[in-house]
Chains A and B, each alone.
Chain A
Amino acid sequence: MAETHSLQDFQRPAVSSKVFIQRDYSSGTICKFQTKFPSELESRLDKQQFEETIQTLNNLYAEAEKLGGSSYLEGCLACLTAYTVFLCMETHYEKVLKKIDRYIKDQNEKIYAPRGLLLTDPIERGLRVVEITIFEDRNIGSGR
């Protein structure tokens, strides 16, 4: 898991605090997170970088839940096979979740880890929040 690998890189630093980015329900029940920049990250991260990360995540989740030709085809095919096709085939949503997992790992390696932060994949928190763990200052810039 991303959490374990990144923490080993930091030689088990102490967790200073955690910030939780809540869901944005203004467009309905689709998975979307608020892009408001939390004050706790002001000393560690650029507002623009944070917004870009959250916006990309929102776009990926929108892609996962998109109602379009391919999702309708998948749904109709599944219905015709009494949904047994879900037992053998990876769904569209699961494919996008893997993409999101790779994106978060990439963001952690490039942007967040060097700043003593760790992004947790929202799927590990039931798609409720984006959890950002803030580690103590001594680990910034120390590398591996």
Chain B
Amino acid sequence: MKNCDYQQIDPKVVPTYASPSHIGTRGPRRVRRKWEVFPGKNRFYCGGRIMMAQQSGVLPLTLGLILVTTGLFFIFDCPFLVKHLSSCVPVIGAVLFVFVFITLLQTSFSDPGILPRATLEEAANVERQIDSSGNSSYRPPPRTKEVLINQQMVKLKYCFTCKMFRPPRTSHCSLCDNCVERFDHHCPWVGNCVGKRNYRFFYTFIVSLSFLTSFIFGCVSTHLAMSTTQQKHSFSYPHASFLWFRVMFELVICFFSVWSILGLSGFHTYLVASNMTTNEDIKGSWSGKSGDVATNPFSHRNVFVNCCSVLCAPLPPSLIDRRGILPVEEESAQMCHADIQLPANKNQRNMVGAPAHHPLCLKPHSKLKAELAAAASACLSVVKVWLSG
């Protein structure tokens, strides 16, 4: 290999096709990973392994409600029910809780199916193709393109942010500033978009959460009924106001959760069975709103096959390769493309390291404070609605 003879450029300038190992062994330059220059509004932790939306929404509230309610159930209701009903109660509760917790974290922390933005050459190619005059001038392409999918015309929209025609069922999330494949919705409760890659985690989360809340509601009601009948525990007002408060808290949380989460689970079961997304359902994409007789071209016309294709299909890979090493030539292209403010001096390029994308798992202190304040105000508004309603 004649690597030395390839250097047709000034050796002081960074070579464009240097391998990542050369980058690591040369002076102050550190290995940069692709998540560090990701153009969307996402936050990355633990070296890019965990990703979330920029605003975590009410995820802390979701976690808090689940942990507090389940904690109270295990501490106060389980001992009584184990003694008077069955020892299976805490086992079932634990299994459901583990399912809920793990699937919630997977929904929140995984890539929902983000499409990486088009490279400069790709974007130029698309724009050049549209120019019918034959000149190589670049102008914005038309907004839509029609394709025939399973004998039905479907419009593909051009995304001006990502510089590509969006594949079918892909939508651009304005909160995350990404095109997401099979976009369902952006869920503030989990603090992330729900799309092709994490829909099954989201569905399992809401189904297991509805089972958990129903189970806890049933157990707390049983505990209350059995205690009142057996008069083992005194629930009279002057004696155990804390017990009353705790029981009412659990019952109220579970009652509202059961109705809302059960309803949501039912709705998503319908979507899964008909192979539709929330986005398509809300927009009425396949309901023939425009006057045409439109059916869902992605449905397999069989409920079982639809369910299997949505929930049991092979998990697609993450397309953004956030842990990949950033090649030096792409690093400079990303800097131009994503409009990151960096000094022009190449020697300083790798020493800048945007503070918002620090590879450690800890957030900047000011951001944490802002988020805690946002979560606290979200809690207060929920409590206000609850008390007034």
Contact = CB atoms under 8 A, between A and B. Distances in A.
Contact of A84 (B102, B116, B181, B308): B102
A141 interface: no
A10 B311 CA distance: 46
Contacts of A128: 115, 118, 122, 164, 167
Contacts of B102: 82-84
Nearest to B18: A4
A88 interface: no
A86 B197 CA distance: 12
Contacts of A67: 305, 308-309, 312-313
Nearest to A129: B122
A3 B18 CA distance: 11
B312 A75 contact: yes
Contact of A64 (B8, B308, B314): B314
Interface string B1-20: 11101101000000001010
B1 A76 contact: no
Q: Identify which of B118, B121, B320 gathers the most chain A CB atoms within 10 Å of its CB.
A: B121
Nearest to A12: B6
A106 interface: no
Contacts of A126: 115-116, 319-320
B19 A4 contact: yes
Interface string A1-44: 10110011001100000101001011111000000000000000
Given A28-B150, A72-B308, A128-B164, A93 B6 contact: no
B8 A75 contact: no
Nearest to B126: A20
A123 interface: yes
Nearest to A63: B314
A74 interface: yes
Interface in B305-332: 305, 308-309, 311-317, 319-321, 327
A66 to B, nearest CB: 8
Interface residues of B, number: 51
A52 interface: no
A94 interface: yes
A144 B149 CA distance: 45
Interface string B120-144: 0110010000000000000000000
A125 B330 CA distance: 12
A93 B317 contact: yes
B387 interface: no
Contacts of B321: 124
Contacts of A139: none
Contacts of B125: 18, 20
A71 B17 contact: no
Contact of A83 (B167, B201, B316): B201
Nearest to B319: A126
B312 A72 contact: yes
A109 interface: no
B315 A93 contact: yes
B17 A23 contact: no
A41 to B, nearest CB: 14
12 contacts: A4-B327, A8-B3, A23-B167, A25-B167, A66-B314, A71-B314, A74-B312, A82-B98, A93-B314, A94-B317, A97-B317, A128-B122
Given A74-B312, A83-B102, 19 more contacts: A4-B19, A11-B2, A20-B122, A29-B169, A65-B314, A66-B314, A72-B308, A72-B312, A74-B314, A78-B315, A82-B99, A82-B102, A84-B102, A91-B315, A94-B317, A97-B317, A123-B317, A126-B115, A128-B122
